[in-house]
Amino acid sequence: QVQLMESGGDSVQTGGSLRLSCAATNLGSPKYCMGWFRQAPGKERERVASIAADGGTDYHGSVRGRFTVFQDNTKTKLDLQLNSIRLDDAGIYYCAVSRLPSSILGRGCRNWSGREHTTWGQGTQVTIFS
């Protein structure tokens, strides 16, 4: 059974930076999407950034150019670098792995909604203050 463990959540000032980390165990074949989702209070969980098995990436429009995903060579660790943080970046950030191959989820896993066929970590809180 896949297990995901996030770390790095913190309280950070607007304009600052933060790095979140995710470690996966029992992944099996590295053909799936990995990514980061976030959920702000009162809002639906949304995909922030994802990486496909071929290394292609996709980002939510609100974070493009500010956030970057980094995956290690073993494809069992996925970091999310958050730069130029804004108030609307606050929320619980979840690491996730798709249970469908990335080859059918579009470039960079752009079609991965997370509503189904997804395994989740427990989440890590990111709080923003101005």
Provide the 8-state DSSP code for 87.
Answer: G
Tens-place pLDDT, residues 9-31: 999 999 999 999 999 999 887 78
What pLDDT digit, counting tens, does each position of 36-69 carry? 999 999 999 999 999 999 999 999 999 999 999 9
For residue 17, report the phi and psi dihedrals to the nearest 5 degrees: -130, 160
Give the distance, in angstroms, between the CA of residue 113 and the centroid of all CA atoms in the same chain: 12
Number of CB atoms found within 10 A of residue 48's CB? 23
Instruction: Please answer whether residues 12 and 69 qualify as being in contact, where contact means their C-beta atoms are separated by less than 8 angstroms.
Output: no
Locate 108 and state its tokens. Answer: 């960079």
pLDDT tens-digit readout, 75-124: 899 999 999 999 999 999 999 999 999 999 999 999 999 999 999 999 99
Q: What is the DSSP letter of 9?
A: -
- What distance in Å separates the CA atoms of residue 16 and residue 62, rounded to the nearest whole number? 16
Radius of gyration of the chain (CA): 14
